[in-house]
């Protein structure tokens, strides 16, 4: 049998274009997630350094970035699966430093593995997790039935999970995360690796859940997906939020995309990140991808070289009006 490490730990403690550019929910006094300062250091590596973020209640909030941007690390820290270096944050009004048990009782989680037991049937999986969540017998049948009612999941409820497709398993894992009717769903790349039809079904279900009042905090590297279903997004790179706001507002940001290939970025990036002509800066796999307010990157290249970087003489430059879209299209891969 197979069960995901992080999903199991949490539970035991307790697409169409019509959905594009969804309107934000009415303002509510208490945000679902409030991060005033969240830090995590590993020896000399500062994975997160005083991260700040606010997730409004009732929203679908997209946490966006390519590989190595600390998205999953942030989730682990918020859920109490990893010890922070320092933290000032609250989830559903509970202090993450002291109230992890209360948080887990009110949060549904789908992280990097489904947490399903593949030799059990769908019904047996849901029964096991429902018992772990403390559901009483009078609620058990309804809570198992409701999340399986869409698509063809109900007809396959007595089949062992190993015989299900990946898309169906992901939808079953999402059903498992909803069993105890949580106020907040935390999802790590919920459509990663799915075919188009399965991904569309998952997105439609997330929109339906939000319409019923749930708050959804999801990581993704797909800006097209975020634009379709999210009411608010934040773009993160190496533990820093580069931009935050409604997808429409971010996609309207004009500028010039510049890709620079080279070596020795560590000190160079620190030298350019806070420049007024640098809108965003993403570094991975020997590349630096920049959004600039000016079409001429020569001063940026000079700053990188002066700080010890080594770059070729002709950076690639592309005028663009899609800040997060460029990051998503050129980064690829799954989150870390």
pLDDT of residue 252: 59
Residue 26 lies in a domain: yes
Residues 133 and 30 in one domain: yes
- Continuous H helices in the chain: 5-12, 71-78, 100-105, 122-132, 137-145, 166-177, 196-211, 223-229, 247-251, 265-272, 298-306, 323-331
CA atoms within 13 A on the CB side of 6: 20
Residues 259 and 158 in one domain: no
Q: Give the integer Cα–Cα distance in Å for 58 and 83.
A: 28
> Is a pLDDT exceeding 50 seen at residue 336?
no
Domain span at residue 285 reads 254-320
Q: Give the integer Cα–Cα distance in Å for 328 and 282.
A: 11
Q: Are 175 and 147 a contacting pair, CB within 8 Å?
A: yes
pTM recorded for the entire structure: 0.69
Residues 11 and 151 in one domain: yes
Residue 69 lies in a domain: yes
Residue 293 has a CB neighbour count (10 Å cut-off) of 13
Q: Measured over all CA atoms, what is the biggest interatomic distance in the chain, rounded to whole angstroms?
A: 70
90-138: pLDDT as tens digits: 999 999 988 888 898 899 999 888 889 999 999 999 999 988 888 887 7
The CATH number of whichever domain residue 299 belongs to comes to 3.30.70.100
The CATH number of whichever domain residue 193 belongs to comes to 3.40.50.300
Three-state DSSP class for residue 283: strand
Residues 193 and 285 in one domain: no
10-29: pLDDT as tens digits: 444 444 333 444 555 555 56
pLDDT of residue 259: 81
- Structurally, the chain folds into a number of domains equal to 2
Residues 304 and 190 in one domain: no
- Count of positions (residues) in the chain: 336
Q: How far is C-alpha 187 from the chain's CA centre?
A: 6
Residue 277 lies in a domain: yes
**Which one, of 111, 33, 104, 113, lies nearest residue 73 by Cα?**
111
């Amino acid at each position: 049998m197979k069960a995901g490490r992080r999903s199991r730990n949490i539970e035991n403690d307790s697409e169409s274009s019509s959905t594009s550019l969804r309107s934000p929910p009415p303002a509510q006094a208490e945000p679902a997630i409030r991060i005033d300062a969240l830090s995590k250091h590993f020896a000399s590596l500062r994975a997160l350094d005083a991260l700040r973020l606010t997730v409004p209640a009732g929203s679908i909030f997209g946490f966006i970035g390519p590989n190595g941007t600390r998205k999953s690390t942030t989730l682990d820290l918020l859920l109490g699966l990893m010890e922070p270096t320092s933290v000032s944050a609250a989830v559903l009004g509970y202090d993450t430093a002291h109230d992890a048990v209360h948080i887990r009782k009110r949060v549904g989680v789908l992280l990097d593995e489904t947490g399903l037991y593949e030799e059990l049937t769908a019904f047996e999986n849901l029964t096991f997790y429902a018992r772990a969540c403390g559901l009483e017998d009078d609620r058990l049948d309804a809570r198992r039935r409701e999340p399986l009612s869409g698509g063809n999941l109900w007809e396959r409820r007595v089949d062992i999970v190993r015989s299900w497709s990946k898309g169906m398993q992901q939808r079953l894992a999402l059903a498992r995360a909803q069993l105890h009717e949580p106020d907040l769903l935390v999802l790590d790349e919920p459509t990663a690796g799915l075919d188009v039809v399965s991904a569309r079904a998952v997105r439609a279900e997330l929109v339906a859940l939000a319409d019923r009042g749930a708050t959804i905090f999801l990581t993704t590297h797909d800006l097209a997906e975020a634009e379709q279903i999210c009411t608010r997004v934040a773009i993160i790179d190496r533990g820093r939020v580069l931009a935050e706001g409604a997808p429409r507002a971010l996609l309207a940001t004009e500028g010039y995309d510049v890709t620079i290939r080279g070596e020795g970025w560590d000190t160079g990036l620190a030298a350019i990140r806070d420049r007024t002509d640098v809108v965003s800066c993403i570094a991975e796999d020997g590349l630096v991808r920049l959004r600039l307010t000016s079409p001429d990157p020569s001063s940026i290249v000079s700053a990188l070289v002066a700080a010890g970087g080594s770059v070729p003489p002709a950076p690639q430059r592309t005028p663009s009006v899609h800040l997060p879209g460029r990051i998503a299209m050129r980064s690829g891969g799954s989150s870390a």
